[in-house]
Amino acid sequence: MLELTESARQELDAYFKGKEKSDIRIYLAPGGCTGPRLALAIDAATEDDQSEEQGGFTFCINKDLLGQIEGVKIDLTHMGFMVEPTVPLPQSGGGGCSGCSGGCGV
């Protein structure tokens, strides 16, 4: 279900240094111009979740969402964590920033 890159693991290690580790939720966040995206948050797993341990961290994701995307890769970029689904999420019909009437601030 989950691939955690070494750079992402190191960033999580740095974040939790001196703190108790918590479950990390992979969730569907509302998107801007391109539609919804996957994101990370600190949150405890529920009975509706699938949990998996990677790199010393426990990740949870809603079982229905996991069924839709089949898996996830968590990486680190210069802009923060990038959470990529194995099966791409459907994009909004906006067609990029031109579809949001300039609301992106670009």
pLDDT at residue 106 tops 50: no
Q: Tell me the residue length of the chain.
A: 106
Residue 93 lies inside a defined structural domain of this protein: no
Among candidates 81, 79, 70, which has minimal Cα distance to 39? 81
Residue 94 lies inside a defined structural domain of this protein: no
DSSP string, 43-100: ----TTEEEEEETTEEEEEEHHHHHHH--EEEEEETTEEEEEESSPPPPPTT-GGGGG
Domain ranges, residue 50: 2-85
CATH assignment of the domain containing 52: 2.60.300.12
Query: Number of folded domains in the chain?
Result: 1
- Per-residue pLDDT tens for 30-81? 877 778 899 999 999 999 999 999 999 999 999 999 999 999 999 999 999 9
pTM attached to this predicted model: 0.83
Residue 73 lies inside a defined structural domain of this protein: yes
Residue 79 lies inside a defined structural domain of this protein: yes
Residue 72 lies inside a defined structural domain of this protein: yes
